[in-house]
Copies of this chain bind each other. A is one copy, B any other.
């Protein structure tokens, strides 16, 4: 931690700051410039709140120099992590595609979805069984019944299953039916849920919160990793900005940033990222071109009749087209699509 003193800070103030740092267990190196004194404080604990120092008299600013997470960082693990979901690898040379409807609605619907996405080359079936929504009056999902249907449909077409964990009390259900659990954007800082996901022992797809910085996203990953669960896959799905012509602003530059800071794989969800069907294809291409390890795409056999998120779900022929196009993009950058 580096403490920068005010230009006019006097000796008594400087010594008082040093004493406080010592009280908090830091070793302090003092260096005096022509204008300011700068203190290097060595031995910071991850949970130290730097504002304790910021508000001391004579302090100008305080900078932390270590990351507030450990297991999620590149410093801790140099080589990229490859996570196995069923028998699909995320984080290797192959781009992993997770596709399916927003919600499981019926046996027919989920089977038709599974068949279509498998045929087009996706390896993981997505679908929600528990769907608390921003309005209490919207469709809330089929629950366990939906999980049963999705598992059967996935097995019938050789797909793995990813579905959202909404409540720690659903952990057993997830263990029974899913190959990977998803933490939704709204729950990215629901810490009891992150712990439960970590303890479950399944790979976790961690969506970025609407207003989460990349650093906070990695700190939420740390919650899961700290439970000895090494399989966290990050998912960029759009952040909230002032722009209203798209539902969210898909932050594709997060892909190279995360790859520089962390060893974890990162996938892109252009369906939630844009919120409207006809923007999904170009942004899926862009996601792959930016270096994402996978895509999460909403597809529905009859989007106009979907009970949730139909407008951002692709028709099956559109998904076929998407797979054909991203295959070309992947090849252009030396990767492949299954």
Residues of chain A at the chain B interface (Cβ within 8 Å)? 2, 4, 6-8, 20, 27, 29, 31, 33-36, 38, 40, 42-43, 45-47, 49, 51-52, 54-55, 60-61, 63, 65-66, 68-69, 75, 78, 132-139, 166-169, 186-187, 189-192, 195, 209-211, 213-216, 219-220, 222-223, 226, 239-246, 249-257, 260-261, 273-279, 282-283, 285-291, 304, 308-312, 325, 328-329, 331-333
Contacts and interface: CB of A to CB of B under 8 A. Distances in A.
A168 B245 CA distance: 32
Given A38-B40, A137-B46, A242 B211 contact: yes
B274 A253 contact: yes
Contacts of A276: 51, 54-55
Contacts of A132: 191-192, 195
A282 B289 contact: yes
Given A241-B241, A279-B253, A311 B135 contact: no
Contacts of A52: 304, 310-311
Contact of A215 (B189, B245, B310): B245
A245 B214 contact: yes
Contacts of A60: 65
B38 A33 contact: no
Contact of A239 (B78, B226, B243, B277): B243
| Central interface residue in A45, A253, A283, A328, by most chain B CB within 10 Å | A253
A30 to B, nearest CB: 10
A40 B31 contact: yes
A211 B260 CA distance: 26
Contact of A33 (B43, B47, B192, B273): B43
Contacts of A325: 332-333
Contacts of A256: 278-279, 282-283
Contacts of A252: 250, 252, 283, 286
Contacts of A75: 6-8
A132 B223 CA distance: 10
B310 A49 contact: yes
Contacts of A31: 29, 31, 40, 42
B137 A45 contact: yes
Nearest to A166: B192
A49 to B, nearest CB: 6
A65 B36 contact: yes
A69 to B, nearest CB: 8
A206 to B, nearest CB: 14
